[in-house]
Chain A
Amino acid sequence: MTKLHSKAFLRRAGRLLAGASVAASALAFAHAASAQTLTIESWRNDDADVWNTKIIPAFNKKHPDIKVQFKADPPTEYNAALNARLAGGTAGDLITCRPFDASLDLFKKGNLVSVNDVKGIENFSDVAKSAWSTDDGKTTFCMPMASVIHGFVFNKEIFDELKLTPPKTMAEFHAVLDKIKADGKYTPIAMGTADQWEAATMGFQNIGVNYWKGEEGRKALIEGKQKFTDPAYVDVFKELASWAPYMGDGYKSQKYPDTQNLFTLGRAAIYPAGSWDVPIFRKQADFQFDAFAPPVVKDGDKCYISDHTDIAIGINAKSKNMDAAKTFLSWVASPEFADIYANELPGFFPLSKAKVEVKDPVAAKFVGWRGTCESSIRNSYQILSRGTPNLENELWNVSAQVMNGSMKPEEAAKKAEDGLASWYEPHKK
């Protein structure tokens, strides 16, 4: 090639590049000019339909000038995807908040703004706000939306067929399980350990509150007055270990969707549940189902439930539509939103003080336990999962292992305690 040619070639390439970059920047500008909508980042991809057809239209009736867009990632990818987008400056205006440290971390890094001054925050109690407040409780950075409650869902037709009544104590619970197993037609407990979190949340946290007496035990654990090696916690692991013979064939590689299907196909009698399962079962199960609260250890014991503050919504500190975002948050705090949310997504219970009537009978039963039992949140969520090893991960691991029979209850308790004691001062003594 001659020099003349190469020069011409370079010039042409340069012109092409310049043209392309002008076009690209023009596109970017056009995009920025049209961005007058609020985008919600969420992990609730299951609820996209409800957001798009019920919640957002209801909001637009009051505020027709603000467009809202619901954008969800799969739950397991949400934290990673959100952090990447926040770092890259492409995250949406509104951010659905995980409870406790994941969101506290976002606030400390300056990704979330305080919502203390947003109208409607006064509708929430301190307990409701605790999951999204700084450790001193002074600043709240997400508007609480809903909590989820643990319990047991059961197949009413199987219970009728085998003439069983919902158990109130652990002894009754085991009597019921034995009867179902003796009959042989149905799997007594629908649960798998492959996903690990089922064992920890639907097992350990679900029944555990009755053993460690809810908030009392949870706070004692944070203060270091109780340890995982205390009898109350070891007993929970022992109870979980005793479930193994009642679980389905090959439960060790059974995943969460398998568990749900096992129950909705009518092949299992009892399903250790989170209340968020209720709307799914409502759609999929063609039989009557009902729920009972986690059985108490001894007859006459006070009952506790895991009423876990699970979901809230905050504002991206880099949002260009701050006022619109605050308007949306105020609306989320309103009784109107609470009513829509509770009834369109039965199983997610509003945290606001407003009285909301839950129409789904099973979901209503779950929320009804708030009146008869003491509420508590999952004990690994506040403060205790800040270090390495991560307590929540450890609980998933050991709960699944205890149910798999590859670890003794005492060993599980010791592993959780040792992990915690390796970094958490109050447990070092």
Chain B
Amino acid sequence: MTDLTASQVQSTDAVRARSRFPVHIAVFLAPAVAIYTLFSIYPLIDTIRLSLYAGDETGLRSFVGLQNFRTLLADPNWSGQFWNALRNNLIFFAIHMVVQNGIGLGLAMLLSLPRLTGGSVYRTLIFLPTMLSVVIIGFIWQLILNPLWGIAPSLLDAVGLRSLFGPWLGQESTALLTVSLISVWQFVGIPMMLIYAALLNIPDDLLDAATVDGAGPFSVFWFVRLPLILPTLGVVSILTFVANFNAFDLIYAIKGALAGPNFSTDILGTFFYRTFFGFQLQVGSPTMGAAVATAMLVIILIGVLIYLFGVQRRLQRHTF
């Protein structure tokens, strides 16, 4: 096609297009909008609507306003469980932030060492658990930590530390920490990869310049690399936050929906599951479950908003 014909077509078309609705924009947006509306926005709004209703024993639903939320926050039978789940969830998140993202950052730094051999092998191995099914992860770790036939007690025995071993998954004081660390082990590959990619993006000139100016390895990390990967750390944090407050599967696989002992591993996801679907003799309540889900949505929303307005606006993205 020559330039001449192209400009001719454009000029006649442009006149008509300006006066009429831009169909192509709608067409291009349609798939995403349709899929999002159908599978994300509609269920979200319907969940919020459902949380304002209550069902009687025949399954008929009637509008009750904010009654479900009042029950959830004011009735001690509900609020006790809710705050307990929220507290456990915060601990779960804190452990991920400190341990998972800390180790992820450390591993990324190690991987980006210039004279590292076999880097891609480590990278693959560390990332591998992320791709495994949660059920398998739960099963493997329960076997490893099993006091009767697990290898953890025998390994500790071999180095003379058998007395340190305990039924960690079964004790109220250690169960949540153990489950969190299993989850950390599984997902540490994600922050590692994201941070590693960010580190690779830093031009060598900057690091060389800093070194020439007399900065040691620690100063280079602290004053050059860390500020440059801060936006990535922010993204990692928000991903961890959302994933942790939606977490459910690992705890369900390891501890069941009653999240024992004494609800010490109960997080919002398992609390929601029991409420919505019921458990053993507890009959599930879709409306109360929707209220719990809405509460979770609000909590996640608050977290994301704090991040967006409190953190992200202050971060500067450096481009080279």
Contacts and interface: CB of A to CB of B under 8 A. Distances in A.
Interface string B44-81: 00000000000001110000000000000001011000
Contacts of A251: 147, 167, 170
A105 B262 CA distance: 27
Interface string A406-426: 110000000000010011000
A385 B24 contact: no
Interface in B158-196: 165-172
Interface stretch (A20-28, A76-84, A175-183, A235-243): A76-84
A361 interface: no
A400 B257 CA distance: 15
Interface residues on chain B, size class: 35 or more
A390 to B, nearest CB: 4
Interface string B125-153: 00000000000000000100111110001
Given A193-B170, A249-B148, A252-B171, A80 B277 contact: yes
A7 to B, nearest CB: 8
Contacts of B260: 194-196, 396-397, 400
A393 B153 CA distance: 31
Contacts of B153: 250
A10 interface: yes
A393 B258 contact: yes
B283 A250 contact: no
Contacts of A386: 283
A249 B166 CA distance: 9
B261 A404 contact: yes
Contacts of B146: 250, 253-254, 258
Given A105-B283, A108-B57, A250-B166, A3 B148 contact: no
Given A3-B13, A193-B261, A393 B170 contact: no
B148 A196 contact: no
B167 A6 contact: no
B279 interface: yes
B227 interface: no
A388 B78 contact: yes
Contacts of B261: 193-194, 196, 252, 400-401, 404, 406
A385 B58 CA distance: 18
A186 interface: no
A326 B13 CA distance: 70
Contacts of B142: 255
B77 A389 contact: yes
Among B147, B149, B172, the most chain A Cβ lie within 10 Å of the Cβ of B147
Interface of B: 9, 13, 16-17, 23-24, 27, 57-59, 75, 77-78, 142, 145-149, 153, 165-172, 255-258, 260-263, 273, 277-284
Given A79-B278, A251-B170, A400-B262, 18 more contacts: A3-B13, A79-B279, A102-B278, A110-B58, A192-B170, A194-B261, A195-B256, A250-B153, A250-B167, A252-B167, A253-B170, A386-B283, A388-B75, A388-B77, A396-B280, A397-B262, A397-B263, A423-B77
